[in-house]
Structure 1
Amino acid sequence: MPSQREAAIQLNHAPDGVGYKLLELPPELLALLESDTPPILTLESSTNSAVLKNGTQSWGLRQKNTSNALILLKTSEEITTSSSEVPEASLNAISTIHDTIELVPELAASTTAPVARGKWHEKFARGR
């Protein structure tokens, strides 16, 4: 029988079907976006990745896999009550993320970034 002294919170597996991606921003871009006059960013394609551009600055989007999964949690929208009329809070695990997107400064227009080949995690990520 639950009581207010118990500190347990129920955790439910409840994926919401949304495909989440985490984007790791470089500090200089974060400062621009948090300024009073945020810039207009454009997203363009290149030979080996997408490129985020702001005027003369550009960043390549690279997928970075991690062995430690990140679990996104959301509080339950419904508060369930048991027979003792004590409300029970719960959390829903809505998504598990295994990779992030990082922004890497692009090289000058005259040089191209080398294409990474042979890394098992990049081959594995293509199938997701």
Structure 2
Amino acid sequence: MSTQANTGIPFSYSQSQSPIRLLELPPALLSLVTSHSPPIIQIKAAPTPANTTGPRGSGDHAVLCTPTQTFSLRHVHCSNSILLIQPSEPPPPSPVEDEQQQAFPLTSTGLKAVATAGSWLELIPVTPDCASILREKIPVYHGWTDNHPVPPAMEEPISRARLLDSIPVSDAEFSIAWDALLAFETDSGEAFRPSAAAILKAISEINTSATAESFSLSTPSGFTVSAILGMLDDVEMPAGLVMAVIGGMCDRVEESMDDNAWRLNTDKCCVSGNWGASIERSNFDHRIRLHG
């Protein structure tokens, strides 16, 4: 009879297996979620691409969004099952154990398989065309003239927050496309994207009011949006549109004590003489030029 102690580890399967889904994280994303200040990670539903084939081609798939990046989730099958185990107490001794087992019982903590996975989810970085998605979802604001009256209030306003929740892109990618389209919200929370004519008229109104007040948009100390809105108090122009146009023409003044100070960016605008305005479209953004 052997006198060596039995050092085996008891292993068993749980009768009720817990459902699990494994997610493989790229190194950069793993570092992000294990940092001292991990960001909020979201999983959003996304329409299946048009070129997807197979029985799941007509369904939806999901994306994972960090604050700045979007990842497509791909289902990967493996040939060997992956077991999720946890420590368990060793089983009680059996009355029919042989003499060797009774002499050297299993005293170590055992392991129990509580879940089994035959696949995992792989993350693939993607660059969604957020601007095209927003163009389809955000109605066009044509202005506040007699020919194009202010759109009536919607029963269910499409707000910026609602769009962000429903579109499968990261917050940063959404914000870049939103700003490039000069999209804005009305006081009632409805999202719009202005037409070229509406942007031209907004620039003209800002220019006219600033000229009448001898107000400079290119002063080194910058100006505030509230100052512009004050000059436009008699103009029926949405405040959100004014802020969007200013954001398209100007940059924030970093060295200013006021967090909301702006200064005209000459790289975005071409200025000469008395201001007039023209606008060009390039891809999905509006390139604004002021000219004499």
- TM-score, normalised with respect to structure 1: 0.69
Counterpart for residue 93 of structure 1: 113
SS at 1:88's partner residue? coil
Map of 1:126 onto structure 2: none
Q: Measured at CA, do residues 34 and 91 of structure 1 come closer, stay the same or move farther in structure 2, by a change above 3 Å?
A: closer
- Equivalent position SS for 1:23: strand
**Mapped contact 1:81–1:88 kept (Cα < 8 A):** no
Indicate conservation of the 8 Å contact 2:5/2:104, yes or no.
no
CA distance change for structure 1 residues 29 and 73 in 2, over 3 Å: closer, same or farther? Answer: same
Task: Report SS of the residue matched to 2:30.
Answer: helix
RMSD (Å) for aligned C-alpha atoms: 2.7
SS at match of 1:71: strand
**Larger-gyration structure (1/2):** 2
- Structure 1's unaligned 5+ residue stretches are 112-128
Structure 2: runs of 5 or more not aligned? 49-60, 94-101, 133-292
Partner of 2:125: 105
Q: Whole-Å Cα distance in 1 between the matches of residues 27 and 63 of structure 2?
A: 17
Contact 1:81–1:87 (8 Å) recurs in 2: no
SS in 2 for 1:44: strand
Structure 1 segments, 4+ long, off by >6 Å, are none
Q: 1:6 to 1:87 in 2, by over 3 A?
A: closer
Other-structure match for 2:6 = 6
Work out the number of aligned pairs and report it: 110
The residue identity in structure 1 corresponding to 2:84 is L
- Tell me the TM-score normalized by structure 2: 0.33
- Preserved contact between residue 15 and residue 95 of structure 1 (Cα < 8 Å): no
Greater RCO, CA 8 A, separation 6+? 1
Task: Note closer, same or farther for the CA distance 1:17–1:80 as it changes in structure 2 (3 Å cut).
Answer: closer
Partner of 2:86: 74
Distance 1:88 1:64, change over 3 A: same
**Which deviates further from its counterpart, 81-90 or 56-65?**
81-90
Higher mean alpha-carbon deviation, 44-53 vs 78-87, is at 78-87
Provide the residue aligned with 1:118 in structure 2: none
Instruction: Report how far residue 55 of structure 1 moved.
Output: 2.6
Matched with 1:45 is: 45
**Structure 1 residue 57 and structure 2 residue 69: aligned?**
yes
Helix, strand or coil at the partner of 2:31: helix
Q: Aligned partners of 2:47 and 2:4: how far apart in 1?
A: 59
Bigger helix share:
2
Q: Quick one: which amino acid aligns to residue 91 of structure 1?
A: L
Letter in 2 for 1:108: P
